[in-house]
Amino acid sequence: MDHSEANRLMASEKYLLDELSPTEMEAFEEHLFDCRDCALDVRAGAVFLEQGKVELASSTVDAGRIAAEVRSSPGFQWWRTAFAIPAMAILLIVVGYQNLVTYPALKGALAENRAPRILPAAALVSSATRGAEPTTIEVRAGEPFLLPLDIPVQKAYQSYVVELQNPAGVVQWSLPVSSELLKNTLTIGAPGVDKDGRYEVIVLGRNGRGENSEVGRYPFDVRFVPAANPEP
């Protein structure tokens, strides 16, 4: 493959998107290692995607952005006039409540979130491990904790889903995880729970057709400890 052919085929993009056939991939790599332009192109693309993944994973939905995209419908113009005054009155009550009650509480929670703290972690052991006993984690009710997971990546799955099942067998939360993230130990910050007992982290592999299969199950026990007395 020469440079013009690589450009014509958009080989850099296809390479990053895993769209080249094995033969095309070999041919492109032979060119890639020898061509500074293509090497720069692919390296820049790889760095962009790597950092982009980090960015997209950490970013929350930008509420302001979405709000700006919402367009009001002209059919509801009449609604504005008819309901403007009572709506304004309700709004004032809500704003007053928020300022007096909700925001101070949120400020407290935010300050707590910004402060460093030590979280308990559950050393998870797969239920398939012979003779292994589920670990016990001691937390206060509602206190977040950490779940470090080492999941072997399998070729058959394109991505994974990690679920937490509570003692009643109900899935408490579910978290999609990319294969890339599993190359290292995955540490999940789990929200606090309100029931003690045996929980299970269930890992599901998702194949190319979007079908899930169970890959592993990691039981652990949650034992509540009394909340510490507030400092005077």
**Residue 187 touches other proteins, criterion: CB under 8 A:** no
Under rule CB under 8 A, which residues in 114-173 are in contact with other proteins?
152-155, 158-159
| Residue from 23, 64, 65, 169 in contact with other proteins (CB under 8 A) | 65
Beta strands in the chain (DSSP E): 135-139, 145-149, 159-165, 171-178, 186-190, 197-206, 212-224
Supply the angle between the helices 36-58 and 22-32 in degrees, to the nearest 10. 110
Burial tier of 8 (Cβ tally within 10 Å: 0-12, 13-18, 19+): exposed
Check residue 232 and report its DSSP letter. Answer: -
Interface with other proteins, residue 1, by CB under 8 A: no
Nearer to other proteins, 54 or 109 (CB): 54
Separation CA 179–CA 206 (nearest Å): 10
Q: Give Cβ neighbours of residue 168 (< 8 Å, ≥ 6 apart).
A: 195
* Contact status: 71 vs other proteins (CB under 8 A): no
Q: Does 42 bind other proteins (CB under 8 A)?
A: yes
- Is the Cβ of residue 102 or residue 154 nearer to other proteins in the bound state? 154
**Residue whose CB is less far from other proteins, 193 or 206:** 206
Task: Write down the least CB distance from residue 82 to other proteins, Å.
Answer: 32
Confirm or reject binding of residue 186 to other proteins (CB under 8 A).
no
Residue type, 223: R
Contact residues: other proteins, CB under 8 A: 10, 12-19, 25, 29-30, 32-36, 39-49, 51-57, 59, 65-66, 69, 152-155, 158-159, 176, 178-180, 183-184, 208-210
